[in-house]
Structures are given as C-alpha cells and as structure tokens.
Amino acid sequence: MDMLLGMLAVLTLTAGYTDLRHRKIPNWLSLAGLGGGLLGHMWTGGFAALGRSLMGAGLGFGVMLLLYVCKAVGAGDVKLFAAIGAIGGPWLTFSAITYSVLWAGVIGIGILLYRRRLLAGGKGIWLAVTGFLFIRQKLCLDERLTLRFPFMAAVIPGICTALWETGSKGVPVWMP
C-alpha cells in the first residue's frame, strides 16, 4: 500500500505542477498512472485487487466525464482521475472527487471575494438561472462572470482530505 500511496503522491504533484504551470495535464502522465495503478494492484493483491482498481478507474473516468460534458473540468482532468481511481480504488476516488469539487467551490468563492466580484457574480448567476426557470430564456452567463482556474488547485487538497478521511481503513470513516 505504501508503494501505491507514493505513486499517487508523485502522480498528483506532477499533474499539479504541469496544470498550474502550463494549464495542461500530459497524456503520458495519466497513462503511466493508470498502468502503474493496475499493475501495482495486480502485483500486491491479485485479481481481486485488480478488479477494485478497474472499478476505481471507471468511477473516476465516468464521474469526471460528466463534469467534462458540463464544461466544469478539462479532458486532462478526466484522464487523470481514471489514473487516480486505478491507484486509489473506488472509495478513495469517490472521496477525492467529492472533496475536490468542494475545494473548487471554496477556491472559487475566495477568488471572487479577492476580486470583489462575489455580489456581481452571484447576481448574474441568480438572474440567469431564474430567467431560465421562469421565463424559459436560454441559459447563458455573462462571459465576464465566468471563473476559470486550474482544477488541480482543488484536486491536491481534495486528495489530501480524502486520504485523511479514509485513513488506514482504506474506506471513508462513515462506512462500517
């Protein structure tokens, strides 16, 4: 398990560096993480562990693909979470996605507060959503109100929080 945690740390930190620096997560990194996770689990736990690794990769890819379709994340994030899932398994992947999205919200609010645009952004979002729901107008937000930052800024604390939550059990603390 220590080997897999080390692999997860190297993968996450390398992806964080490249995403924050170049706004891109290289395919070779995601493929290496996916292959390393599958082989590492096969080596340490046999076919049962390989199955959990495949479930984690599928979960990470599937959930992030839905976020990609909604234009919330980039394609590199989708492939990276398949690799994270292969290394961490389904429970860690589920927790990492959940916490990463929560951290992204916290970071987004922090950026809006820093730019002093929280009220303007909130008002624009509120008007767009209510117009869509009640007037049936096309849902589009003012481009000036959109907020973009590298998702890895939220993934790194999200994975750290998920690792803290799962602890030595390997499953969330709320699981029996």
SS3 annotation, the chain:
CHHHHHHHHHHHHHHHHHHHHHCCCCHHHHHHHHHHHHHHHHHHHHHHHHHHHHHHHHHHHHHHHHHHHCCCCCHHHHHHHHHHHHHHHHHHHHHHHHHHHHHHHHHHHHHHHHHCCHHHHHHHHHHHHHHHHHHCCCCCCCHHHCCCCCCHHHHHHHHHHHHHHHHHHCCCCCCC
If you average pLDDT over residues 18-45, what whole number do you get? 93
pLDDT over 70 (residue 135): no
Question: How much of the chain, in percent, has pLDDT values that exceed 70?
Answer: 75
If you average pLDDT over residues 116-131, what whole number do you get? 56
Q: Which amino acid is at 6?
A: G
Residue 98 confidence class, pLDDT cut points 50, 70, 90: very high
- Cα–Cα distance measured from residue 66 to residue 73, given in angstroms and rounded to the nearest whole number: 9
If you average pLDDT over residues 147-163, what whole number do you get? 87
Tokens of 71: 């234009």
Residue 30 and residue 82 in contact, taking contact as beta carbons nearer than 8 Å: yes
pTM greater than the 0.75 cutoff: yes
Residue 53 confidence class, pLDDT cut points 50, 70, 90: very high
Residue 155 confidence class, pLDDT cut points 50, 70, 90: very high
Tens of pLDDT, residues 40-50 = 999 988 899 99
Those residues with Cβ within 8 angstroms of residue 143's Cβ, 6 or more apart along the chain or in another chain:
none
Residue 138 confidence class, pLDDT cut points 50, 70, 90: very low
Residue 8 and residue 158 in contact, taking contact as beta carbons nearer than 8 Å: no
